[in-house]
Chain A
Amino acid sequence: MDWGALHTILGGVNKHSTSIGKIWLTVLFIFRIMILVVAAERVWGDEQHDFVCNTLQPGCRNVCYDHFFPISHIRLWALQLIFVSTPALLVAMHVAYRRHEKKRQFRKGDQKCEFKDIEEIRKQRFRIEGSLWWTYTSSIFFRLIFEAVFMYAFYFMYDGFRMPRLMKCNAWPCPNTVDCFVSRPTEKTVFTIFMIAVSSICILLNVAELCYLLTKFFLRRSKKAGNSKQQPNHENKEETKQNEMNELISDSCQNTVIGFSS
């Protein structure tokens, strides 16, 4: 189980995402997960080993390191990536549930189904409307919240995004104020700023996707309202829907029956 497995799981969600969602997934995998695994982990690999304090007092280095790095950058990023990827699973589960329902209908020989075989159901791409729209939108909302929370936690814990070269420590058992030197501070600062920048880009993408979905929703609603206004002598909305559905069913039934008999 590793990041590759996450890639497999989220890859399935890719099919049912909007274009902005696909861009977000690409940015996530290439500019965050891959950079984390290939580069950032090496930079922080020797962090405690090369954290050096100007004292021979045993234990002083351990205590100072723990004081200045309650949770390492690299672990915080890993947690951030895991939490940010999790809402996409909601969408994957919803899609799997819909597919399962369609397969059940198909197996029962229901006349409402519009597929010729199970393979088509498996490959079908669901449009983002109805309950799936709500799941998708809430997943984007949660992603935004998690990103913001982690960025704030980062800023709060490390007093900004810079890694200092020298830290002064006087926690017990250090005998007095001791100079402690962080290993590779510039490289760590560069990677920190890079990860923060990519996080911000992901936040912008999520906001854009949210706006796009909301705009689409309101446009669709106004279209429906416009259509029903043009036919004033008609039944109410539900009856119109039922009529449309009945037409679709009778059309697809004819096709299905023909399909089965051939």
Chain B
Amino acid sequence: MSWAFLRDLLSGVNKYSTGIGRIWIAVVFMFRLLVYVAAAENIWKHEHDEFECNIKQPGCENVCFDHFFPVSHIRLWALQLIMVSTPSLLVVFHVAYRENREKHHNQKLYKNPGKIDGGLLCTYLISLILKTGLEIVFLVLFYKLYNGFKIPRLVKCDIKPCPNIVDCYISKPTEKMIFLYFLVATSCLCIILNLSELSYLIFKYSIKCYLKRHVKKQQ
């Protein structure tokens, strides 16, 4: 089980997405997943070992690290990637349900089970709203947990068993900050893509509905 699983999952979703949805998948693959695996993971690899405090008191470093990093940036990033990709599964399940229904009744109930209309449209819109919501939740979480998106070089710690206020130094703060900003930028890009897709679908189908009604009235 690894990121390849997520990649295969998202490739399956690609079939039932709109054009903007496919761009979203490409952005997630190239600028978030690939950057995470190829670059970001290694920066945070030895963050605990390289976290150094100006004290010899045993336990002080551990306690200070735990206080300043309740959940590591990289773990939050991974969780965000997983959560944000999951709502797309709703669409895949719905299409599978439709195909199953057709098989069960042994007749063609839908013109094309993968076409986004009717119930599948609702599912698709819900998945878009969930994706956007989760992105915003994680961005807010990052902001609240770490007091903004800055990573300081030095933090001052005075939790027991540290005897007094101790200077602790975070490793590679600049590099971590650059990648954090990159994460925020790609998240915002994905939010914009999701919102555009949402408005595009709502606009398209309201026009369709309106035209149908107009034609019926004329008849």
Q: Which single member of B37, B46, B52 contacts A59 (CB below 8 Å)?
A: B52
Known: A78-B38, A79-B35. A58 touches B46 (CB 8 A): no
Q: Chain A, 193-206, contact with B by CB distance < 8 Å: what is the 0/1 string? A: 00000000000000
**Chain B residues whose CB sits within 8 angstroms of the CB of A74 once the complex forms:** 39, 42
A43 close to B (CB within 8 Å):
no
B143 close to A (CB within 8 Å):
no
A105 CB to closest chain B CB (Å) equals 16
A79 CB to closest chain B CB (Å) equals 6
Interface centre among A3, A61, A62, A85 (most CB of B within 10 A): A62
Known: A1-B34, A79-B39. A62 touches B7 (CB 8 A): no
**Chain B residues whose CB sits within 8 angstroms of the CB of A71 once the complex forms:** 174-175, 178
CB closest residue in chain A, given B175: A71
Q: Taking beta carbons and an 8 Å cutoff, which residues of B are in contact with A? A: 3-4, 6-7, 19, 22-23, 26, 29-31, 33-35, 37-39, 42-43, 46, 50, 52-55, 153-154, 167-175, 178-179
Q: Which single member of B38, B167, B174 contacts A2 (CB below 8 Å)?
A: B38
DSSP class of A's interface residues: helix, strand, loop or mixed? helix
What are the 8 A-B residue pairs with the smallest beta carbon separation, nearest first? A59-B169, A1-B3, A62-B169, A70-B174, A78-B39, A58-B54, A1-B33, A78-B38
**Chain B residues whose CB sits within 8 angstroms of the CB of A66 once the complex forms:** 153, 171-175
Contact in complex: B7, A93 (CB < 8 Å): no
Contact in complex: B175, A1 (CB < 8 Å): no
**Chain B residues whose CB sits within 8 angstroms of the CB of A1 once the complex forms:** 3-4, 6-7, 29, 33-34, 37
Contact in complex: A75, B34 (CB < 8 Å): no
Q: Which single member of B31, B43, B54 contacts A82 (CB below 8 Å)?
A: B31
B164 CB to closest chain A CB (Å) equals 15
CB closest residue in chain A, given B174: A70
Interface size class of A (residues with CB under 8 A): 20 to 34
A63 close to B (CB within 8 Å):
yes
Cα–Cα distance between A65 and B43 once the two chains are bound (Å): 13
Cα–Cα distance between A48 and B55 once the two chains are bound (Å): 21
A49 close to B (CB within 8 Å):
yes
Contact in complex: A70, B38 (CB < 8 Å): no
Q: Chain A, 83-107, contact with B by CB distance < 8 Å: what is the 0/1 string? A: 0011001000100010000000000
Known: A66-B174, A71-B175. A58 touches B50 (CB 8 A): no
Contact in complex: A48, B54 (CB < 8 Å): no
A164 close to B (CB within 8 Å):
no
Q: Which single member of A6, A70, A93 contacts B178 (CB below 8 Å)?
A: A70
A212 close to B (CB within 8 Å):
no
**Chain A residues whose CB sits within 8 angstroms of the CB of B34 once the complex forms:** 1-2, 5-6, 82
Contact in complex: B52, A70 (CB < 8 Å): no
**Chain A residues whose CB sits within 8 angstroms of the CB of B50 once the complex forms:** 48-49, 62
